[in-house]
């Protein structure tokens, strides 16, 4: 019997390790940690409190179990409650008579109506740095024991490493986006009249992608492709790129090469291969009259079809030295008029819905 329980616990720890090490999504890791702790020690509720380095307080990041949602607004001051003591002393504790423990913070029970009877509280740490506190509450039909404590300690070590890896990945990702934006901004600054174009095209594109139900990965690719959609213009001379009058046929032919130049630049970066189609084909037309390859309809990658609408809408509604930008509704009508020829009708519909939602949210704020 004991061997079976041990096997189940080992399987549980291995399963949790596999799950969290296959994900860099920090929210998922934290939620999975509480689910695993509740399952491993067979308890009614569990929580993960994270340490706020600025204030020194602990706050409930994840709380699962009956009435758990009601405690998420609570913040514990340094040393407050059992979790605060654990964080301050960096020691794990088992308490099988919580109500009579002088360290117990009663505010959580009072706010939720839940009664805490027994508890294991374990610090979550990387080396000597505190990340938070992992808690298992109310062992079912029994009291917590040293074996439960060791299970939670093992789990907390895995949680700490996974959270730290996710944090480092997030910082790396932020740095990458900062570099990408800086590159796009450098290109944009060549034309003083297109300020903010990249950011707007990105926002319009991502909002449209969300409206169309794209996956998280697809939205990530769409976002990057939208930021870098004009990167190929780095290969176009200013005398042509910034010309205010009508382009000659030869000049227009040169301008059109920016989609190919952009794709060639990005193909050197292995991590960006999935966004190349968005950059290369965002000037293809739905009816096959665009460039560079005269693709049509569904043969045009979806992210390129979305960027095409976002890019054109921003161009239509932005003031230029030789013309005023169109009013929003007039630009909408122009998109609808060209749906089925220049643009994918489904993308146009989704774009207009997404834009109206963005406007409504901005007005609320």
Strand order in the sheet with 43-51: 75-76, 58-64, 43-51, 129-139, 119-126, 93-95
Phi, psi of 60 (to 5 degrees): -75, 110
pLDDT band for 152, please (50, 70, 90 cuts). Answer: confident
Strand extents, DSSP E, the chain: 43-51, 58-64, 75-76, 93-95, 119-126, 129-139
Cβ-based neighbour number of residue 172 at 10 Å: 11
Task: Please say if the pLDDT value at position 2 is more than 50.
Answer: no
Residue 1, pLDDT score: 40
The 10s digit of each residue's pLDDT in 259-273 is 999 999 888 888 888
Residue 365, pLDDT score: 66
Most confident range (mean pLDDT) of 46-55, 234-243, 253-262, 333-342 is 333-342
Task: Please say if the pLDDT value at position 3 is more than 50.
Answer: no
**Burial class of residue 96 (count of CB atoms within 10 Å of its CB; 0-12, 13-18, 19+):** middle
Phi, psi of 20 (to 5 degrees): -70, -30
For the segment 106-135, the average pLDDT, to the nearest whole number, is 91
In whole numbers, what is the pLDDT of the chain averaged over residues?
A: 86
For the segment 139-151, the average pLDDT, to the nearest whole number, is 89
In this structure, are residues 29 and 21 in contact, taking their beta carbons and an 8 Å threshold? no
pTM for this one? 0.69
Could you tell me which residues come within 8 angstroms of residue 241 by beta carbon, excluding any fewer than 6 positions away? 190, 191, 233, 255
Q: What is the DSSP letter of 283?
A: T
β-bridge partners, 159: none
**Burial class of residue 316 (count of CB atoms within 10 Å of its CB; 0-12, 13-18, 19+):** middle
For the segment 144-173, the average pLDDT, to the nearest whole number, is 85
Residue 302, pLDDT score: 98
Q: Buried b / exposed e across 15-47, counting CB within 10 Å, b at 16+? A: ebbebbeeebebeebbebbbebbbebbebbbbb
Residue 286, pLDDT score: 96
Of 149, 126, 146, 118, nearest to 50 (Cα)?
126
Residue 9, pLDDT score: 46
Residue 194, pLDDT score: 61
Query: Directed axis angle between helix 197-211 and helix 345-364, to 10°?
Result: 110
Query: Directed axis angle between helix 197-211 and helix 216-227, to 10°?
Result: 160
The 10s digit of each residue's pLDDT in 213-227 is 999 999 999 999 999
Continuous H helices in 189-242: 197-211, 216-227, 238-241
β-bridge partners, 119: 95, 137
Q: If you write DSSP's letter for every residue of 121-190 in order, what string do you get?
A: EEEEEETTEEEEEEEEEEETTS---HHHHHHHHHHHHHHHHHHHHHHHHHHHHHHHHHHHHHHHHHHHTT
Query: Domains plus CATH for the chain?
Result: 2-167 (3.30.450.40), 189-364 (1.10.3210.10)
Residue 211, pLDDT score: 97
Query: Directed axis angle between helix 146-188 and helix 216-227, to 10°?
Result: 30
Residue 229, pLDDT score: 93
Residue 8, pLDDT score: 56
Phi, psi of 8 (to 5 degrees): -60, -40
Task: Please say if the pLDDT value at position 23 is more than 60.
Answer: no
Could you give the angle at the alpha carbon of 66 between the alpha carbons of 60 and 67, nearest 5°? 60
Give the H/E segment covering residue 278: helix 276-280
Give the H/E segment covering residue 26: helix 26-41
Cβ-based neighbour number of residue 52 at 10 Å: 14
Task: Please say if the pLDDT value at position 38 is more than 90.
Answer: no
As a whole-number percent, the residues of the chain with pLDDT over 70 amount to 90
β-bridge partners, 60: 49
Task: Please say if the pLDDT value at position 183 is more than 90.
Answer: no
pLDDT band for 69, please (50, 70, 90 cuts). Answer: confident
The 10s digit of each residue's pLDDT in 302-318 is 999 999 999 999 999 98
């Amino acid at each position: 019997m004991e061997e079976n329980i041990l096997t189940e616990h080992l399987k549980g720890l291995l399963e949790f390790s596999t799950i969290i090490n296959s994900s860099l999504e920090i929210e998922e890791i934290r939620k999975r940690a509480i689910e695993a702790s509740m399952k491993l020690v067979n308890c009614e509720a569990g929580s993960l409190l994270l340490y706020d380095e600025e204030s020194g307080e602990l706050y409930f990041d994840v709380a699962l179990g009956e009435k758990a949602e009601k405690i998420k607004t609570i913040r514990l001051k340094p040393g407050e409650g059992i979790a605060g003591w654990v964080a301050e002393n960096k020691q794990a504790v088992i308490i099988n008579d919580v109500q009579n423990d002088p360290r117990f913070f009663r505010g959580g029970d009072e706010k939720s109506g839940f009664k805490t009877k027994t508890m294991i509280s374990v610090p979550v740490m990387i080396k000597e740095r505190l990340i938070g506190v992992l808690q298992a509450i109310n062992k079912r039909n029994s009291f917590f024991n040293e074996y439960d404590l060791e299970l939670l300690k093992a789990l907390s070590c895995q949680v700490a490493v996974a959270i730290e890896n996710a944090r480092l990945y997030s910082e790396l990702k932020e740095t990458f986006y900062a570099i990408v934006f800086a590159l796009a901004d450098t290109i944009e600054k060549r034309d003083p009249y297109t300020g903010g174009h990249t950011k707007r095209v990105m926002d319009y594109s991502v909002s449209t992608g969300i409206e169309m139900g794209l996956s998280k990965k697809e939205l990530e690719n769409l976002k990057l492709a939208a930021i870098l959609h004009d990167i190929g213009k780095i290969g176009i001379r200013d005398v042509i790129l910034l010309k205010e009058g009508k382009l000659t046929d030869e000049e227009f032919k040169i301008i059109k090469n920016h989609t190919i130049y952009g794709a060639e630049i990005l193909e050197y970066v292995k991590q960006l291969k999935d966004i190349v189609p968005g950059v290369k084909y965002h000037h293809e037309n739905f009816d096959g009259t665009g460039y560079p390859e005269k693709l049509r309809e569904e043969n045009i990658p979806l992210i390129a079809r979305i960027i095409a609408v976002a890019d054109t809408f921003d161009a239509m509604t932005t003031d230029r030295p030789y013309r005023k930008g169109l009013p929003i509704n007039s630009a909408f009508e122009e998109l609808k008029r060209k749906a089925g020829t220049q643009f994918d009708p489904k993308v146009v519909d989704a774009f207009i819905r997404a834009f109206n939602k963005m406007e409504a949210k901005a007005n609320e704020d």
